[in-house]
Structure 1
Amino acid sequence: MSEVFSARSAEPAPENADLARVRDGDETAFAHLVAPLQRELHAHCYQMLGSTHDADDALQDALLRAWRGLARFEGRGSLRSWLYTTTTRTCLDILKARGRRVLPVDFGPSSDHAVLDGNVPLTEVGWLGPYADTDLMDGPASPHARYERREAVELAFVAALQHLPGNQRAVLLLFDVLGFSAVEIAAMMDTSTTSVNSALARARKTVKEKVPPRTQQQTLRKIDDARVREIVGGYADALAGGDIDALVALLTEDVTWSMPPLPHWYHGITAVADFAWQVPMTRCPTWRYLLTSANGQPAVAFYLRDDAAGSHVAWSITVLTLRGERIAELTSFLGAEHFVCFGLPARLS
């Protein structure tokens, strides 16, 4: 994963004239300098913070800090390194105030049957959110680099990062994902290379214990794109059509389904099937959906019928994790606010 946004990737050196204009207060020149890096900086903020909304705030704050402090950039290192220093430190400040993001599996054991009462949203909890990955496919990057960009925002990886202290999280991302050296990271984080190497070793150990050996990108590359669309569309059709047999046929025996911000989650095909039948298939009005992508994985945007509104309204972004040609995990991020980040409509007729 070390070449996702590799420090060795081509980065045009900022022209002295551009820097001079920035130092003279030219905001347009500053925007021109940072524009090629904003996409990857935003992804870095999401990996650090586990929330698109937090990433938006962090990047805005970091760029403001960079604008105000550009006089300290002397041009001896790369602009990219300097911006990552500011952005990483901004994220670490936010982490101190807000703590880590979680998923329902972090709260306790799964439920073995559909929870119909008491499964109310926990709004005081900082939940991990989905990431709109469309921008990661843009630009001149090679297919391999785009592949690794998607790998670096996969749900399992980002969820594992949330279990790391802030400094370990930053070191792992800067070294393994972004390709900075231990010496560079030590300077960025105002620490020693010994501390960087120690934090990196601990971070790698924790992440290895929590991330499956095969990434979703590795799994998806083994499956024809048309077959992936067939699996995802089959799941959405089965749920919307109330076809429990068709749904079960697509699931692994140990499938899980979680729905942040609801705390209850389900593990195993029996429990998942019971929930699917008891709640979305029989107790909810009609569904419509759009196929999309999130965290480098196939996803479905579900819309639930609202008779008062006379339309189907945004309900959840459900991210699918595949194992072979079956669905091993369903993570449904409930809330219309997620649809804005994906550029999806708030309602369907």
Structure 2
Amino acid sequence: MKKLVLLLTTLLLMIGLGYPGGAGNAAAAAAPKYTEISTFVDGTLMISASKSVLVNGSAYVPVKLLNQIPGFTVATAASAVTITGSKGSAKLNKDNSILYKNSNYVAFKTLLKLGAIDGKYATSSYTLFIWSTEDGKIKSNSMLYAISKLPGTMGQAVGKKVYLYAHPGSHWVTDVQYADDTNTSTFTLLSEAGITWTLDLDDSETDTLYTEENLFAFKENFNGDPAWAVNAKIPDSPFKNMEKVTVKDFRSSPGDGGLEVLIRRANGQEIYISLDTTVNPVDYLKELFYFKNPRTAYPSSDAVWAAIRDERIITDMTFEQVYLSWGEPDSYNEDLGYIVYGHQYLYFINNKLKYYYEL
């Protein structure tokens, strides 16, 4: 069976992106970087639109979620917000809090001083674990141990909304466990329909798992970009070869959970194309479409370009122009100067197609 594949940081770095944060663009180079992270309290995932954030290496928790952490109360006056725990109280100020997305966030280290809690930030999974009881500590440490056993960047799925091929819809990863006796890792997931189910990561027929952050990264990097269709690579292509289109969006397929790109044609027609995520989907996308004008990259006469658009070949085409028209050859012989497409043999002299015939 196929091992589960996760498309995360290594993929995003290949397209010039890191783990998505909320700091905005690089114009504010001196501004702090905000990275949203997951939060577990006593082993339970806090599922909320407001997420904890990591800022310059320090974790901050949304004040509005403190009612889910045992032992804390929040009092709001006209000019101040006061947080009270079993060890004391503190007013929010510039030294112990931040404002993020128009909401107050308190430093995790401040909560440690005020309340009867403990915790740990797991860097490999962008997840904050908080516990207030011995049982919560045991559950948290069990998950931390399991995260340490996950391969590659798989830990970054813990506590995140994810999408899986063959499992339509979104799912929250609410738990991860590792069994020493069988050396197996298991995710517990909560579907958008409210169904809890488990996924054995070491014995899964599911090809891919990708996060909401992955979709965000694809959109940030490609949405709105012009592209040119490569019909030799697109199965049952609805496009004219080298047709100029626009990348509009990405989504998880409602049919099978796979990753899809939405392409808009010049006439306004919109078409979803499935991306093969058993390989690097960025590389796959760049095989289906050129993201630089191919006619600029490979200057062509009107006659040659018309042939390329019609997926034909004509004499005096360069190899690159033949490639634009027909894609990769089945085989080639550099010594004799020919390439083969099926039963068609194409002969080149000085990188110009001189004649071709079919056997």
TM-score (norm 1): 0.23
Larger gyration radius, structure 1 or structure 2: 2
Q: Comparing both structures, which one devotes a greater share of its residues to strand?
A: 2
More relative contact order in 1 or in 2 (CA 8 Å, sep 6+)? 1
TM-score (norm 2): 0.22
Q: Comparing both structures, which one devotes a greater share of its residues to helix?
A: 1
